[in-house]
Amino acid sequence: MTQNFFEIFQLPIQFNINEKKLDENYRLILKSIHPDRFVNATDAEKTQSLLKSTQINDAYKVLKNPIERIEYLLKINNISPNVTLDNNFLMQQMEMEEKLEGQSNIEQLTKFLNEITKNLNEKFQQVKQQLDEERNYAAVVSELAKIKFLAKLNQKIKDKSFSLMED
Protein backbone atom coordinates (compact mmCIF):
# COMPACT_ATOMS: atom_id res chain seq x y z
CA MET A 1 0.00 0.00 0.00
CA THR A 2 1.71 3.17 -1.18
CA GLN A 3 -0.91 5.48 0.31
CA ASN A 4 -0.11 7.04 3.62
CA PHE A 5 -2.36 6.41 6.60
CA PHE A 6 -4.37 9.60 6.13
CA GLU A 7 -5.03 8.82 2.49
CA ILE A 8 -6.21 5.33 3.32
CA PHE A 9 -9.01 6.78 5.41
CA GLN A 10 -9.56 9.72 3.02
CA LEU A 11 -8.54 12.29 5.60
CA PRO A 12 -6.53 15.49 5.06
CA ILE A 13 -2.88 15.07 6.07
CA GLN A 14 -2.91 17.07 9.28
CA PHE A 15 -3.05 16.75 13.05
CA ASN A 16 -6.62 17.88 13.41
CA ILE A 17 -8.76 15.05 12.09
CA ASN A 18 -12.43 14.27 11.93
CA GLU A 19 -12.47 11.34 14.34
CA LYS A 20 -15.99 10.39 13.38
CA LYS A 21 -14.97 10.04 9.77
CA LEU A 22 -11.90 8.05 10.79
CA ASP A 23 -14.02 5.63 12.83
CA GLU A 24 -16.65 5.37 10.14
CA ASN A 25 -14.17 4.71 7.33
CA TYR A 26 -12.25 2.24 9.46
CA ARG A 27 -15.45 0.29 9.98
CA LEU A 28 -16.43 0.39 6.34
CA ILE A 29 -13.01 -0.78 5.19
CA LEU A 30 -12.72 -3.60 7.69
CA LYS A 31 -16.21 -4.80 6.93
CA SER A 32 -15.17 -5.34 3.33
CA ILE A 33 -11.76 -6.96 3.85
CA HIS A 34 -11.72 -8.60 7.30
CA PRO A 35 -10.73 -12.32 7.35
CA ASP A 36 -14.24 -13.13 8.61
CA ARG A 37 -15.48 -12.24 5.14
CA PHE A 38 -13.10 -14.73 3.53
CA VAL A 39 -13.81 -17.97 5.36
CA ASN A 40 -14.68 -19.78 2.12
CA ALA A 41 -12.14 -18.03 -0.07
CA THR A 42 -8.89 -19.21 -1.62
CA ASP A 43 -5.73 -19.23 0.49
CA ALA A 44 -4.40 -16.31 -1.54
CA GLU A 45 -7.41 -14.21 -0.60
CA LYS A 46 -7.25 -15.30 3.01
CA THR A 47 -3.61 -14.24 3.16
CA GLN A 48 -4.24 -10.89 1.50
CA SER A 49 -7.25 -10.22 3.70
CA LEU A 50 -5.15 -10.92 6.79
CA LEU A 51 -2.29 -8.72 5.63
CA LYS A 52 -4.49 -5.84 4.58
CA SER A 53 -6.60 -5.95 7.74
CA THR A 54 -3.39 -5.89 9.74
CA GLN A 55 -2.26 -2.76 7.89
CA ILE A 56 -5.61 -1.10 8.38
CA ASN A 57 -5.58 -1.87 12.11
CA ASP A 58 -2.10 -0.42 12.37
CA ALA A 59 -3.00 2.72 10.44
CA TYR A 60 -6.15 3.22 12.51
CA LYS A 61 -4.30 2.77 15.78
CA VAL A 62 -1.72 5.38 14.80
CA LEU A 63 -4.24 7.98 13.65
CA LYS A 64 -6.57 7.37 16.57
CA ASN A 65 -3.89 8.18 19.13
CA PRO A 66 -2.93 11.89 19.07
CA ILE A 67 0.66 11.23 20.16
CA GLU A 68 1.23 8.55 17.55
CA ARG A 69 -0.47 10.83 15.03
CA ILE A 70 2.05 13.58 15.74
CA GLU A 71 4.93 11.10 15.45
CA TYR A 72 3.57 9.81 12.18
CA LEU A 73 3.20 13.33 10.75
CA LEU A 74 6.82 14.04 11.69
CA LYS A 75 7.90 10.76 10.14
CA ILE A 76 6.21 11.36 6.78
CA ASN A 77 7.77 14.83 6.75
CA ASN A 78 11.19 13.28 7.38
CA ILE A 79 11.67 14.98 10.75
CA SER A 80 13.74 13.07 13.28
CA PRO A 81 11.95 12.93 16.63
CA ASN A 82 15.20 13.13 18.64
CA VAL A 83 15.48 16.12 20.89
CA THR A 84 17.44 17.37 23.87
CA LEU A 85 15.06 18.64 26.46
CA ASP A 86 15.50 22.13 27.79
CA ASN A 87 16.64 22.36 31.37
CA ASN A 88 13.59 24.28 32.33
CA PHE A 89 11.26 21.46 31.46
CA LEU A 90 13.56 18.90 33.10
CA MET A 91 13.17 20.81 36.34
CA GLN A 92 9.42 20.95 35.92
CA GLN A 93 9.37 17.22 35.28
CA MET A 94 11.15 16.49 38.52
CA GLU A 95 8.82 18.79 40.41
CA MET A 96 5.77 17.07 38.98
CA GLU A 97 7.15 13.60 39.73
CA GLU A 98 7.85 14.68 43.31
CA LYS A 99 4.38 16.11 43.60
CA LEU A 100 2.87 12.77 42.54
CA GLU A 101 5.11 10.99 45.03
CA GLY A 102 3.84 13.18 47.86
CA GLN A 103 0.14 12.80 47.21
CA SER A 104 -1.71 10.12 49.04
CA ASN A 105 -5.43 10.85 48.87
CA ILE A 106 -7.96 10.68 46.08
CA GLU A 107 -8.98 14.37 46.21
CA GLN A 108 -5.40 15.57 45.82
CA LEU A 109 -4.79 13.14 42.99
CA THR A 110 -7.99 14.08 41.17
CA LYS A 111 -7.05 17.74 41.36
CA PHE A 112 -3.56 16.97 40.09
CA LEU A 113 -4.99 14.85 37.30
CA ASN A 114 -7.26 17.68 36.17
CA GLU A 115 -4.34 20.04 36.17
CA ILE A 116 -2.20 17.73 34.05
CA THR A 117 -5.06 16.97 31.68
CA LYS A 118 -5.64 20.69 31.14
CA ASN A 119 -1.93 21.19 30.56
CA LEU A 120 -1.90 18.33 28.06
CA ASN A 121 -4.89 19.70 26.15
CA GLU A 122 -3.24 23.09 25.86
CA LYS A 123 -0.14 21.43 24.45
CA PHE A 124 -2.23 19.60 21.86
CA GLN A 125 -3.86 22.88 20.85
CA GLN A 126 -0.43 24.40 20.45
CA VAL A 127 0.80 21.47 18.35
CA LYS A 128 -2.31 21.69 16.21
CA GLN A 129 -1.46 25.30 15.47
CA GLN A 130 2.19 24.47 14.74
CA LEU A 131 1.45 21.49 12.53
CA ASP A 132 -1.68 22.43 10.65
CA GLU A 133 -1.28 26.17 10.27
CA GLU A 134 2.34 27.14 10.64
CA ARG A 135 3.66 23.84 9.22
CA ASN A 136 6.53 24.29 11.66
CA TYR A 137 7.36 20.62 12.16
CA ALA A 138 10.74 21.26 13.80
CA ALA A 139 9.09 23.20 16.62
CA VAL A 140 6.80 20.27 17.35
CA VAL A 141 9.67 17.93 18.14
CA SER A 142 10.37 19.44 21.56
CA GLU A 143 6.65 19.77 22.31
CA LEU A 144 6.20 16.10 21.52
CA ALA A 145 8.68 15.11 24.21
CA LYS A 146 6.78 17.22 26.74
CA ILE A 147 3.45 15.79 25.65
CA LYS A 148 4.77 12.26 26.02
CA PHE A 149 5.96 13.03 29.53
CA LEU A 150 2.62 14.54 30.51
CA ALA A 151 0.70 11.61 29.04
CA LYS A 152 2.83 9.15 31.01
CA LEU A 153 2.38 11.18 34.18
CA ASN A 154 -1.35 11.26 33.52
CA GLN A 155 -1.40 7.48 33.40
CA LYS A 156 0.72 7.23 36.55
CA ILE A 157 -1.74 9.42 38.45
CA LYS A 158 -4.62 7.28 37.24
CA ASP A 159 -2.80 4.09 38.27
CA LYS A 160 -2.08 5.50 41.69
CA SER A 161 -5.69 6.61 42.19
CA PHE A 162 -6.83 3.16 41.14
CA SER A 163 -4.59 1.33 43.57
CA LEU A 164 -5.69 3.72 46.36
CA MET A 165 -9.32 2.95 45.57
CA GLU A 166 -8.64 -0.78 45.59
CA ASP A 167 -7.18 -0.85 49.09
Q: Which residues bind another protein (CB under 8 A)?
A: 1, 8, 10, 23-25, 27-45, 47-54, 56-58, 60-61, 158, 162, 165-166
77 phi and psi angles, rounded to 5 deg: -100, 15
Q: Residues 6 or more apart from 86 whose CB is under 8 A from it?
A: 142
Q: Which is nearer to another protein, 41 or 76 (CB)?
A: 41
- Closest CB 151 distance from another protein, rounded Å: 13
- Closest CB 132 distance from another protein, rounded Å: 23
- Please, are residues 4 and 63 in contact by the beta-carbon 8 Å criterion? no
- Closest CB 54 distance from another protein, rounded Å: 5
Q: Residues 6 or more apart from 126 whose CB is under 8 A from it?
A: 143
- Closest CB 65 distance from another protein, rounded Å: 12
Cα distances (Å, whole numbers) of residue 162 to 30, 96, 107, 119? 35, 19, 12, 21
Q: Residues 6 or more apart from 15 whose CB is under 8 A from it?
A: 66, 69, 70, 73, 127, 128, 131, 132
Q: Which is nearer to another protein, 8 or 141 (CB)?
A: 8
Q: At what angle do helices 43-64 and 19-33 cross, to 10 degrees?
A: 170
Residue 63: Cβ within 10 Å count: 21
- Closest CB 7 distance from another protein, rounded Å: 11
Q: Which is nearer to another protein, 44 or 87 (CB)?
A: 44
Q: Which is nearer to another protein, 113 or 140 (CB)?
A: 113
Q: Which is nearer to another protein, 23 or 95 (CB)?
A: 23
